[in-house]
Structures are given as structure tokens and as C-alpha cells.
Structure 1
Amino acid sequence: MMNTAKINASRMSTARKTLALGLSGAALLLSGLVLAGGTEPVGMGQMPANLKATAALRDPAGQVRGEASFEQVGMGMRVTVTASGLTPGMHGLHVHDLGRCTPGVDPAVNKVVPFGGAGGHFDPGGSKNHDSPMAGNKYGHGGDLPMLNVGADGTGTATFTTDKVSLTGKDGVLNRSLMIHADMDDYKSDPSGKSGARERCGVIVRDNFTVRDYPLPGTQSFPEGVAYDARKGVIYTGSAANGNIYAINANTGATSLFSEGGAVGRSTALGLKVDAQGRVWVAGGATGAISILSPDGAPVATLMTPPSPNPYLNDLIPTPDGSVYITDSTRPMIWRVRDMKVEPWLNLGGTPIKYGPGINLNGIVASPDGRFLLSVQLNTGELWRIDTQSRAIRKVMGGLKNGDGLLLDGQTLYVARNADGVVSKVGLSADYGSGTLMMEEPLAGLRFPTTLAKVGADVVVTQGQLDKLQGGTPETPFKLTRFKIF
């Protein structure tokens, strides 16, 4: 068993050394520990080339008084900060959770302060603990950075490399805030090392990258599923929290309530698809129900899977023969609807797909002719091909842990990797039997992306934030994000 007292003493000693060395020494100490691991690798696919970001640092009056740049270098991130108009000495420097440099309540003092809208420190490891820049993210906030050393002229400049945070993956800082505080950081006191008032703030924005957001109404949207009806030019999305289904005009962004949650027992809405008749199909999660809505939102039917413990209908896909296949993430079964009747189509017991704790089969898509289904197993990261004629199962690939919704575009599969905060691009063989992870794209900063739909030459992804459904403060407004296919 590890000696916790010695570990804590060592970490405190490191923090004191950082304070004594000043910024340049801290940067050296930090870069020397990059390989020791503050974070885990985000995956085996390529990151986007020249992944860079900047933040314009403003004072409380809104005047730009500095700039920060961020560049992904392997699994580390190089940060350069310059700021002016500050008092000489050491200043706390942190990444905060939200991309809002607006006034807001600071829980540490329980009052409205400049830049309080940025929330608390970014804490991807869930440590709930302020610590030194050398502490791994399970021990301290990922946003705990080396201090800024300001000279007699009021200008501070810092350059360092850290692996605690990144421009991609679950530790990604895109669309979060960089904050400079008034005082030095003691690297131990919660929540911010007694570093004082928030004096400079900048939102971290990816360079040369454009997305379009579709904001959703309400503070409890938690969008999970998404589908597109090209005939109407309408994007549908459903709430995992209350079952609301929203219709979004893909051109204007105008949003309306298509079907209110709770209708015919629909208390949650997960996977969504539009069939050839323009009807909207909804997977009902733990309700065990499948809802079908007419093109104008009227209920058509609610189909129940047979009563059994712990249902979790997660996603569904219509095929050209009129069938609809549904994944169940907790019961090892693929269900099928034909002629408005639900049947247990494929019992996965005794097959290569082994169910375990957590969410199992999740997103599902079909080849254009309906011959093959592809489904990702979230808890193992395995992608499976299922032959709808023989019901034979083949493992396509692994490495897609936290894989949620899928989008099949020719021989390319896009995977929303929720907790990893990326969309993965997978190249598939002609028979869909093998695949290669090609790229992991963070866009402009994704918050628990769940599902995807193709809209013309673009893709729309939900930023579901389901990690905050049972607790935590989600970023509002909730949104869907549209981007050019890559």
C-alpha cells in the first residue's frame, strides 16, 4: 500500500519549489513531468493538423490587455501568455470551466464578481481539489497552471508546456476561459489557491475554424438524439431529461416544440430517426418504449418491449424493407419492429458481443441496402457488424470507447465519443467488416457529444452534456453544432 502521507508531503514540496522558482522554473519543472502523466492519451487516431487556439485577455472594463496562444504538441499543449497593466509579482493563472468572460456569482465569496460567469476551475478529473501544476488531474484541477510573473512595468509573459489539459479530448480547453488573478497562487487552498480577484479573462477559441450552433430553449434540454428530414429541411432533437422533441429549421435556426415530453408516457427521448414516410421514431431509454410521431408531431403509436428488468432502448435505425432495429444497452437483445409490432430479433447471449456493466450496444446504423447493421459498444469501444440475413456477427474494430451515436456516409463512419469530447472518423472496408480510426476532431470544443446527423454536406452533432444530467451545472443554452464534413 502506498504511503499517502509521503505522497502528500512530496506534492506539497513540489508546490513550494514552484513558488520559489517563479514562472520559468515552474515551466521547466512542468515540462519535465509531461511523460509522468497528468492525463491519458485521447486515442490512436490523428489529431487535426496545426491544432491551435488563442484567447484575447480583457480587463473587467472589456479592454483587451493581453493575449494567450495554445498549440497542441503531441500529447502536450504549449501555452504562451502575455498580459499588461497588472501589479508586479506572481499572479495565479487558471483555466476555468465555462467560456464566458461575463460577470457572475463566484461561489468562493458568494457574490457577483467580474468574470464570475466563467465558473470554477476546469476539473476534468473530478478531483474537486486545487493543487500544483504538477499534480495529475485525479489529484488536482486540470486548470491549475504555472503562475504569471509580472515585472516592474506591469507586463507579464509566460511560456510553458502542460499535459494536464489539451486542445482535444476529455481534457480539452476549447471554448473554456483562461483567467489571470490578482494574487499569487499557494497551490493548496480550495477553490483557487487564495489567488484573489479575477483580473483578466479570455475565451479560448480555435484558430481558423468555423461552426454553426443551434441553441435550444430551456435549462434542462440535454439533447441526446438528432435526425434530419431533408424534405422539410428540419432537424429534430430530443431531450434525455424530459422527452421533449424539438424541430429546428436547418436554414434559419428557428426552433419550435414538435412534441411535448410526457406525451403517451414518453418521459425521455434518446435515439431519433426519420423513416421514409417522414415519421419520427424515438427510443425511450429506461421506459422500454418506442414512440412514433407523424410528420406533424401527432402520436402514431407507442410500442413497448416485453416487460423485463432494466430496459434501456438507446438507438434505432429504419431499413429499406420497412424494419426498424433497436439497440438495448442493458439487455443483450436487438429488437426489431415490423408491421408496428416489436419482436426480439437477435438474442446476443452466446454471441461475440459480451454485455458487461454500464452502457453496452449504443448507436446503430445500416448499410444503404439494409444488409448490414453497425453498432458500437460504448463500454468496450468495440464496433460490430451484424448481417441482417444470416444474423452473423463480426467485430469490425476496437478503440472507440465511449462511442455513442453513429453516422454512416458511404464507407466512412463518424462516431460521437461522448466522454472523450470528440467525433471520430473511421474508414471502413467495402464489406463494412473492418475499419481504421483516421481522425479525432474536437471541433470548437464539444461537451459530451452524443449523436450525429448529416445535413447536406455538413454534419450536426448534439452537445448533450449528459455527464451533468444527474448533477453539476450544464452550460446553457444547450446546443447542436453544425460543421463541414471532414
Structure 2
Amino acid sequence: MQRISRKRTLITAALLGGAALTGTGLAGGATQPMPAPASTPLKATAALRDTAGQVRGTATFEQQGGGVRVSVTVSGLTPGQHGMHVHEFGRCTPGVDPATNTVVAFGGAGGHFDPGMSRNHDDPQADNHAGHGGDLPMLTVGADGTGRATFTTAKVSLTGMNGVLNRSLVIHAQPDDYRSDPSGMTGARERCGVITRDNFSVRDYPLPGPQDFPEGVAVDAARGVAYTGSAATGTIYAVNLNSGAVSTFAEGGGQGRASALGLKVDAQGRVWAAGGASGTVSVLRPDGFPVAILNTPKSPNAYVNDLTPAPDGNVYVTDSTRPVIFRVTPDLKLSAWLDLGGTPIRYAPGINLNGIVATPDGRALLTMQLNTGDLWRIDLRTKAVRRVMTGLTRGDGLLLDGRTLYVVRNAEQVITKVSLNADWTAGQIVAEEPLAGLRFPTTLAAIGGDLIVAQGQLDKLQGGTPETPFRLTRFRKF
């Protein structure tokens, strides 16, 4: 438990989750690809329902630069002003209202969306660090019971840290005083709609545990299985990619695995897991039985984060708090391979190196430094280190597909597509994808023409209420 608590503190203090958990890039057998992400500007719609479940209005959202244009039309309300807010969860179901601690209509939407963690209700012009991001202008309803509003706000977005996709728009019974916590004395929740991206679909794989916090994902194409590991418990699940059925592959808490961070499947079907603060690398047979538990040198500062097999037969391992790259040879011997102290990579507080992949030509490793946003190249022959690019803020897991690198950016809640040059020494961002609303994603893997991402929610690992069920999400390559 001490190791788990230490890991949670590391992640939460810096708002940096996870481990860089890289996918395997293996094909997905008989699985079918998902529809391709849209290339048009981001748009979303919420069908606004009353407490009886009848649709009584619509809200549309369109990304316009750094802001979102919102248009709302709703009927059947009392004339006058009504508070209107974005709420945290995409559930228009009964649930507990935190203001009254009672079960109310649309209580399942949770409290106000608060990306700046302000814990304060404020007006629609307040910075998100001063007030809830979900605090919107009021809706004015006419004598006929119809309310209309159109406005542009920079407090929310359809992508990034302020993203509202798969959250809820709620209209209340009373005006908003823009002062009183938690909801401005706006009274009952009268209309609710889930904000759903237009013309876009994904497939979710729900996980069974209420505290799973999935961090790694890896694919075994021969078995049609994706593996994902819990940052909180170390349990590793096997997910059938066709049926979605989930089984426990290996229980956490034993064999030195209190956390399961980066995951890989090797050519023998063995599952490799980075053990975080335990400082271990676990190697498991296809039936889940441990082959080896490899220990890095004892240290109060261990944070074994991710690993990757390379064409030279070795597996390379990152540590996010100790400036060293470890190597595991084919005979399962672990040693320190590269001391980063004499390289351009400078370790600082927070999560440092995490995601790591090997280039297919066997010449280099690419690795992500989360707390700086730098992507690095390490030559496997000379050990020379050079920066490939910067600006990948909150970059976490990596997946290399030819000369295309996918970077999962956890707190930014997007997946970034980078085009790399022929020798992996420079890259350029070509696209960013929020899917249908990512929740602190950590890593991704390839499944034929699709990708699958772990929505780790590691920002809720130390405190807060995660959205359950936790899930892996599958979508078409973009």
C-alpha cells in the first residue's frame, strides 16, 4: 500500500498521469475497423430532455478557434431566467445532488464541470481557475415557455483540458446568482442532454472494477485479446476484442506488482509489465503465470514506467524519476544500460521519461518526457541522445506506425499524430483527435486498421470521482 500511495501522490501532485504505455502495433485478427474520424470542424449536439424523458429542446456546439459557439432552443419552461451549466458526467439519470445530498432528477450528471479545479461557482467571464468551467450564461425563457440563447465562450471546448464532449448540459429552474456554491441557487434540474460529437462513433470496452484506473494497453493478435493493467492495484485484465468479454489475466498485489503501468506482448505471447514505484519488471506467460520478476536497484525513488521490445532482441525500460534507461536481455537479465546524467535529457520534479518505442530499423529508441513535452531519440549503437521535437505537453504513451507517431497527451485529453522524417530526428504535428471525449488517456495500441486507447483517469487517482465503468476505447486510425 505504501508504494501505491506514493505513486498516487506523484501523479496527482503534478497532474501527470501515467505511465507511458505503448501499444504493440500488432494486427487485430478478425476484428472490424471502426469508422474513420471526421476531418470537418468539431461539432456536437445535446438533445435536451425533461424529467419524463421527452426531448424538449436541442443545444448545438461548434468549435471556433479557442472558443465554442453554443446555440440552445428549449420549450416548456417557466418564463424568466434559468441557470444553465455544463455538468461533469454524460449521464442524464437520477442521482445524488451534492448541493442537497438527496437523489434528484438528472443527479447522475454530477456537479459542475470544473477543469481548473477551482471548487468555486462563479460567473461566465471568470477564469476557469477562479470558477467552474461549466458556468455558462443564463437562458431567458419567453411568455410562451420557449427559451433561446446563442453565445460564444472560451470557458469550454470540444477538445483539450476544457473539453465537454460526453458531458451534460443542464438547465435549472431558477436564475443563477453567480456566487453561491455549488450551483448559484439555481434549484431543480429541469432539462438535461448529453453533449455528443456529431457523425462520430467509437467502440468502448468497459472494465469491471470501480477502481481500475487502466494505464497500459497491449494487443495479442493471435489470441484476439487486448491486455490492460490497473495503476491502482496491479491487476491485469484480458479483453476479448470481438465480444468485449473481460477476464482477470493476473491478480495484482502479489509477485512485487502493486501497479501495472506500461504493458507489451512479445513474440512468444508473454506479457511484460512495468511495475511503477515497486521498481520491477514482470514477465508473464500467456496463461498469466509469472516467468520472472526482475528488480531494478533498490531505491526510494523508483518509478519503472514503460518498456519496449527492440529489433536487437532486448527490451528497454524507462524510469520516470531515476535518470536511467534499463535493458533486459533475451536471457531475462536486467541492468542499467544508459545513465542519462551525461546526456541532454535533464530530469526535473514530476514524471520524466515515460513512453518509449523502438524504430523498426533497429537504429534508435524514441521516448517521451512528460513534464517537459520533449520527444527524444536515443541511438542504440552510439547511445547518442538528441531532441526530436518539443511542444508535446503532457505527452504520455507512444505508438509508432511506420513514420507516424501517435502521442497520447493525458491531461490535454487528445491524441496527437506526428509525422517523423526518415531518420527519426525531426517531427511535425499533423493532427489532434479528442475522439468522443477522452478522460485523461494514457496510452494506445494498434488493432489492424484501428487504435485502442486506455482512458486512465489518473487525475482522479488520489481524489475525486472517476467516471465508471472505466474503459478502453477503439477507433479508426486518423
After TM superposition, is the score higher than 0.5? Answer: yes
Distance (Å, rounded) in 2 between the aligned partners of 1:463 and 1:83: 33
Compared CA separation, residues 263 and 368, structure 1 to 2 (3 A): same
Tell me the alpha carbon deviations over residues 25-83 of structure 1, each in whole angstroms, 9 at most, x when there is no partner.
xxxxxxxxxxxxxxxxxxxxxx9532000000000110000000000001110000010
SS of 1:127 mapped into structure 2: coil
Unaligned runs of 5+ in 1: 1-46
Of 113, 116, 121, which aligns to 1:125?
A: 116
Of 476, 479, 482, which aligns to 2:474?
A: 482
Of 244, 253, 276, which aligns to 2:235?
A: 244
Per-residue deviation, 1:320: 2.4
1:230 matched residue in structure 2:
221
1:322 matched residue in structure 2:
313
1:308 matched residue in structure 2:
299
Of 125, 129, 139, which aligns to 1:148?
A: 139
Tell me the alpha carbon deviations over residues 306-333 of structure 1, each in whole angstroms, 9 at most, x when there is no partner.
1123010110001122200000000000
1:158 matched residue in structure 2:
149
Q: State the AA in 2 paired with 1:252.
A: S
Q: State the AA in 1 paired with 2:365.
A: L
Distance (Å, rounded) in 1 between the aligned partners of 2:364 and 2:452: 24
Of 347, 360, 364, which aligns to 2:352?
A: 360
Per-residue deviation, 1:438: 1.2
Distance (Å, rounded) in 1 between the aligned partners of 2:240 and 2:401: 22
Q: State the AA in 1 paired with 2:462.
A: Q
Of 215, 219, 229, which aligns to 2:210?
A: 219
Question: Does the CA-based 8 Å contact 1:48-1:439 persist in structure 2?
Answer: no
Q: State the AA in 2 paired with 1:102.
A: T
Q: State the AA in 1 paired with 2:148.
A: T
Kindly tell me the number of residue pairs found equivalent between the two proteins: 440
Per-residue deviation, 1:485: 0.2
1:442 matched residue in structure 2:
434
Distance (Å, rounded) in 2 between the aligned partners of 1:375 and 1:206: 32
Distance (Å, rounded) in 1 between the aligned partners of 2:101 and 2:441: 32
Q: Mapping of 1:42-53 within 5 angstroms?
A: 48-53=39-44
Distance (Å, rounded) in 2 between the aligned partners of 1:234 and 1:428: 29
1:10 matched residue in structure 2:
none
Distance (Å, rounded) in 1 between the aligned partners of 2:234 and 2:300: 21
Q: State the AA in 1 paired with 2:228.
A: T
1:204 matched residue in structure 2:
195
2:176 matched residue in structure 1:
185
Distance (Å, rounded) in 1 between the aligned partners of 2:338 and 2:272: 20
1:84 matched residue in structure 2:
75
Of 451, 454, 459, which aligns to 2:446?
A: 454
SS of 1:117 mapped into structure 2: helix
Distance (Å, rounded) in 2 between the aligned partners of 1:399 and 1:440: 13
Of 87, 99, 109, which aligns to 2:90?
A: 99
1:271 aligns with 2:256: no
Q: Mapping of 1:326-345 within 5 angstroms?
A: 326-338=317-329, 339-345=331-337
1:280 aligns with 2:277: no
SS of 2:300 mapped into structure 1: coil
Q: Which runs of 4+ in 1 moved over 2 A?
A: none
1:35 matched residue in structure 2:
none
Distance (Å, rounded) in 1 between the aligned partners of 2:471 and 2:111: 21
Distance (Å, rounded) in 1 between the aligned partners of 2:451 and 2:230: 19
From the CA coordinates, give the structure whose radius of gyration is larger.
Answer: 1
Question: Does the CA-based 8 Å contact 1:364-1:406 persist in structure 2?
Answer: yes
Of 355, 372, 378, which aligns to 1:380?
A: 372
Distance (Å, rounded) in 2 between the aligned partners of 1:350 and 1:92: 57
Question: Does the CA-based 8 Å contact 1:105-1:111 persist in structure 2?
Answer: yes
SS of 1:349 mapped into structure 2: helix
1:11 matched residue in structure 2:
none
Distance (Å, rounded) in 1 between the aligned partners of 2:390 and 2:432: 15
Question: Does the CA-based 8 Å contact 1:48-1:441 persist in structure 2?
Answer: no
Q: State the AA in 1 paired with 2:401.
A: D
Q: State the AA in 2 paired with 1:121.
A: H
Distance (Å, rounded) in 2 between the aligned partners of 1:48 and 1:445: 16
Of 412, 416, 422, which aligns to 1:424?
A: 416
SS of 1:190 mapped into structure 2: coil
Per-residue deviation, 1:263: 2.6
Question: Does the CA-based 8 Å contact 1:48-1:440 persist in structure 2?
Answer: no
SS of 1:317 mapped into structure 2: strand
1:115 matched residue in structure 2:
106
Distance (Å, rounded) in 1 between the aligned partners of 2:337 and 2:362: 15
Distance (Å, rounded) in 2 between the aligned partners of 1:50 and 1:294: 45
Distance (Å, rounded) in 1 between the aligned partners of 2:187 and 2:204: 34
Q: State the AA in 1 paired with 2:389.
A: M
Distance (Å, rounded) in 2 between the aligned partners of 1:351 and 1:258: 39
Distance (Å, rounded) in 1 between the aligned partners of 2:428 and 2:98: 46
Distance (Å, rounded) in 2 between the aligned partners of 1:309 and 1:192: 44
Distance (Å, rounded) in 1 between the aligned partners of 2:82 and 2:476: 40
Distance (Å, rounded) in 1 between the aligned partners of 2:427 and 2:229: 30
Q: State the AA in 2 paired with 1:408.
A: L
Distance (Å, rounded) in 1 between the aligned partners of 2:360 and 2:342: 28
SS of 2:255 mapped into structure 1: helix
1:44 matched residue in structure 2:
none
Q: State the AA in 1 paired with 2:435.
A: L
Distance (Å, rounded) in 2 between the aligned partners of 1:171 and 1:421: 9
Per-residue deviation, 1:401: 1.2
Distance (Å, rounded) in 2 between the aligned partners of 1:184 and 1:358: 43
SS of 2:342 mapped into structure 1: coil
Question: Does the CA-based 8 Å contact 1:244-1:268 persist in structure 2?
Answer: yes
Q: State the AA in 1 paired with 2:443.
A: T
Q: State the AA in 1 paired with 2:244.
A: G
Report the RMSD for the aligned CA atoms in angstroms: 0.8
Distance (Å, rounded) in 1 between the aligned partners of 2:229 and 2:238: 9
2:7 matched residue in structure 1:
none
Q: State the AA in 2 paired with 1:76.
A: G
1:65 matched residue in structure 2:
56
Tell me the alpha carbon deviations over residues 114-162 of structure 1, each in whole angstroms, 9 at most, x when there is no partner.
0000000000000000000000001000000000000000000000000
Distance (Å, rounded) in 2 between the aligned partners of 1:50 and 1:163: 16
SS of 2:176 mapped into structure 1: coil
Distance (Å, rounded) in 1 between the aligned partners of 2:248 and 2:200: 31
Distance (Å, rounded) in 2 between the aligned partners of 1:485 and 1:207: 18
Distance (Å, rounded) in 2 between the aligned partners of 1:189 and 1:263: 48
Q: State the AA in 1 paired with 2:404.
A: T
